[in-house]
Amino acid sequence: MNIIVVGCGKIGLTILSNLVAEGHNVMAVDTNPEVIEETNNIYDVMGVCSNGADCETLEEAGVSKADLVVACTNSDEVNMLSCYIAKRMGAKYTIARIRNPEYNDNSLIFMRKQLDISIAINPELLAARELFNILKLPSADKIETFSGRNFEVIEFKLRADSLLDGVKISDLRNKFKAKVLICAVKRGDEAYIPDGEFVLKSGDRIGLSAKHTEITKFIKELGVGQKKARNIMILGGGRIAYYLAKMLINAGISITIIERDREVCEELCEALPKAVIINGDGAEQEILLEEGLLSVDAFVSLTGMDEENILVSAFAQSKNVPKVITKVNREELISLADHWGLDCIVTPKKTVADSVVKYARALENSAGSSMETLYKLMDDKVEALEFKVKADFPMLKVPFKELKLKKNVLIAGIMRDRESIIPAGDDMLLAGDRVIILAANQRINTLSDILK
């Protein structure tokens, strides 16, 4: 597809690089000539150095032939205007990055309709939802939900004393009562879609799929269940912290936010009257300890500096805080955080890029499939996709044991009406089912792509 990315900051470049990796024809637009030059050199794409909300700029970028325009500059208003003009000039679909909390759900719905914007994406809100899901199940390092939250895939690392160490996957159902499926394993730098003969080892990062109640039951059986966080400390008072605190407060959870900027603290006090807002430098260990770090159930580091987030999270972990979550945007620092034992890392720009890639892939294949969801797991080495099964799928009512699937592909779950099914050999797909597919080290576009 022909795609134009307007705004090549951190979010824009991440989106652009993912779209290039998907094989799309991407055009970059930015007002900074150095950014355009660097983008051209690194990603081998064409670029236009000008204002992306200008009709002449968009015309030069080829907007009349664009299948998709993604506007992700630092200005919500520029993004909305760019999408509006692009649509009037012939672009088929548009995505606008809209971050300001003042644009609530009602105003966004109105603006999307009036400006004909296909999707509005809020990176900070998406990140906050990801964090909120993890804090609801603190034993997990990552949680992705499917089919209206009826089905989940979670990631967590097997500790040295894990009951799963040395267990063959085919023996799981005999050893544990919970109905779950281990659908992915990352060992070192390699990711696998394991078969029944695969033997788990301590240190593995595993992906577990099932409905939420079964996952909770399984975690308890393993003896690694953590109590639901009721008292949470957040470092940094930016937009992610605001959205997350609002969600947590609505869930009845006590929140303390530490922010060094006094003006930001005053704004948070007004916006979040039920939260405790502390004006101070959270990088100072004494402040963290004075404000009750040792008594919280979870610590979330959300400052604008990755290095600070990693260091302070490492300190919180050294004080045995039950759950520590770290925001890291720079790719080169994620491995450092992992080396320091920080297992739960959130990268907002990746979350946004995944959303755009999912939308683009669904548009590209809308005639032959109905992709509902796309997530990247195991450090982007595994994809989890949700498809709605259509009546013309060639393998309807064929038992899975008779299907010839590609290597490193797994049918991980089926949602039929309101029932969640962990599939076995005699199960089959019916029209109207929603099916979860896991694929390692390959790209799945349509449901038929899972077959040899």
pLDDT tens-digit profile, the chain (452 residues): 999 999 999 999 999 999 999 899 999 999 999 999 999 999 989 999 999 999 999 999 999 999 999 999 999 999 999 999 999 999 999 999 998 877 766 677 787 788 889 888 998 999 999 999 999 888 888 898 887 667 899 999 898 889 999 999 989 888 888 889 999 999 988 999 998 899 999 999 999 998 888 998 999 888 887 778 899 999 999 999 999 999 999 999 999 999 999 999 999 999 999 999 999 999 999 999 999 999 999 999 999 999 999 999 999 999 999 999 999 998 888 888 887 888 789 998 888 998 898 888 878 764 444 788 888 888 888 999 999 888 888 889 999 999 999 999 999 999 998 788 888 889 999 998 999 999 998 888 888 889 88
C-alpha to C-alpha distance for 186 and 206, rounded to whole angstroms? 6
CATH superfamily of 142-218: Regulator of K+ conductance, C-terminal domain (3.30.70.1450)
Residues of the chain with CATH 3.30.70.1450: 142-218, 356-450
CB 200 within 8 A of CB 169: yes
Grouping H, G, I as helix, E, B as strand and the rest as coil, residue 335 is: helix
DSSP 401: G
145: tokens are: 């939900």
Task: Please tell me what DSSP assigns to residue 327.
Answer: E
The number of angstroms, rounded, from the C-alpha of 288 to the middle of its chain's C-alpha atoms is 29
| Amino acid (one-letter) located at 205 | R
pLDDT reported for residue 444: 87
Which residues, at least 6 apart from 55, have a Cβ–Cβ distance to it below 8 Å? 85, 89
8 Å CB contact between 240 and 215: no
Type of residue numbered 227: K
Burial of 412 (0-12, 13-18, 19+ CB in 10 A): buried
pLDDT for position 139: 87
Sequence-distant (≥ 6) Cβ neighbours of residue 230 within 8 angstroms: 253, 254, 297
Burial class (CB in 10 A: 0-12, 13-18, 19+), 44: exposed
Q: Classify domain 2-121 at the CATH topology level.
A: Rossmann fold (3.40.50)
Output the pLDDT for position 342.
Answer: 86
Alpha-carbon Rg for the chain in angstroms: 23
Residue 38 makes CB contacts below 8 A (sequence gap 6+) with: none
Task: Determine the pLDDT at residue 368.
Answer: 42
Task: Give the β-pairing of 181-187 and 190-192.
Answer: antiparallel
Beta partners for residue 185, in sequence order? 192, 206
What fold, for 231-321?
Answer: Rossmann fold (3.40.50)
Q: Return the number of other C-beta atoms located less than 10 Å from residue 36's C-beta.
A: 20
> Which part of the chain has CATH 3.40.50.720?
2-121, 231-321
pTM, entire model: 0.86
Which of 294, 247, 296 is CA-nearest to residue 274?
247
Q: Could you say which architecture CATH assigns to the domain 356-450? A: 2-Layer Sandwich (3.30)
Nearest to 188, CA basis, from 207, 203, 208 = 203
Alpha carbon 74 to chain centroid distance? 21
pLDDT score recorded for residue 224: 80
d(CA 34, CA 30): 9
Distance CA 452, CA 437 (A): 15
- CA-nearest of 283, 341, 340 to 312 is 283
